[in-house]
């Protein structure tokens, strides 16, 4: 909103003036872009170019969510979270969710449904995280995929309402719990096709 005139600015896209790769690693790229907005304002932005991720709201028969507790160094604490992980290059989002559920929990699900795509931190990252509902849980068995070598996880099970009451501060987990409680009919719809 233009506060001088009270009118909304035109909805044209910004012009990319320059773009520079600052750093690349196995997880993401760090970029610096200079953009010119339609108003003429120039912004110098450093942002994370992220491949995307998935999170899994794995719901047991009693309605509790299967969660992982793990150390997150950026915030220097153990967090209680829905199972989640980055996409591998070229990986389908649903296949990534199936893989992550098995790697992090040792479980498989008979039913899958996309609950919501979210943008966890659009002010500085391009990451799009797809939250899937997984139902009909069963042990993956002795051939279950192992979690990543650098992960140390423990499993817990909690009701979505307990998560929203302060049991976690993890955003994707709070969103998943809220989606399940706000629209239970979405959680009960027919599973996704294979």
Banded pLDDT at 190 (limits 50, 70, 90): very low
Locate the domains of the chain by residue range: 15-49, 53-183
What's the predicted TM-score (pTM) here? Answer: 0.85
Rounded to whole angstroms, how far apart are CA atoms 111 and 24?
Answer: 36
Nearest to 117 by CA among 162, 53, 31: 53
Please answer whether residues 85 and 103 qualify as being in contact, where contact means their C-beta atoms are separated by less than 8 angstroms.
yes
Between residues 92 and 27, which one has the greater pLDDT?
92
pLDDT digits (tens, 9 = 90+) for 63-88: 999 999 999 999 999 999 999 999 99
CB atoms within 10 A of CB 22: 10
pLDDT digits (tens, 9 = 90+) for 118-164: 999 999 999 999 999 999 999 998 777 676 677 789 999 999 999 99
Instruction: Please give the CATH topology (third level) of the domain spanning 53-183.
Output: Nucleoside Triphosphate Pyrophosphohydrolase (3.90.79)
CA atoms within 13 A on the CB side of 126: 15
């Amino acid at each position: 909103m233009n506060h001088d005139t009270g009118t909304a600015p035109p909805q044209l896209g910004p012009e990319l003036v320059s773009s520079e790769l600052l750093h690349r690693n196995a997880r993401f790229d760090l970029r610096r872009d200079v953009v010119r907005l339609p108003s003429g304002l120039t912004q110098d932005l450093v942002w994370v170019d992220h491949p995307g991720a998935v999170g899994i709201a794995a719901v047991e028969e009693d309605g509790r969510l299967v969660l992982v507790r793990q150390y997150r160094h950026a915030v220097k604490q153990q967090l209680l979270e829905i199972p989640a992980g980055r996409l591998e290059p070229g990986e389908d989002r649903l296949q990534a969710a199936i893989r992550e559920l098995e790697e992090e929990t040792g479980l498989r699900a008979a039913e899958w449904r996309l609950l919501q795509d979210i943008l966890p931190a659009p002010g500085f990252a391009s990451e799009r995280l797809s939250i899937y509902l997984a139902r009909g849980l069963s042990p993956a068995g002795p051939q279950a995929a192992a979690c990543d070598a650098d992960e140390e996880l423990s499993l817990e099970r909690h009701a979505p309402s307990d998560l929203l009451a302060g049991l976690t501060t993890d955003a994707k987990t709070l969103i998943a719990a809220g989606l399940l409680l706000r629209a239970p009919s979405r959680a009960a719809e027919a599973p996704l096709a294979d």
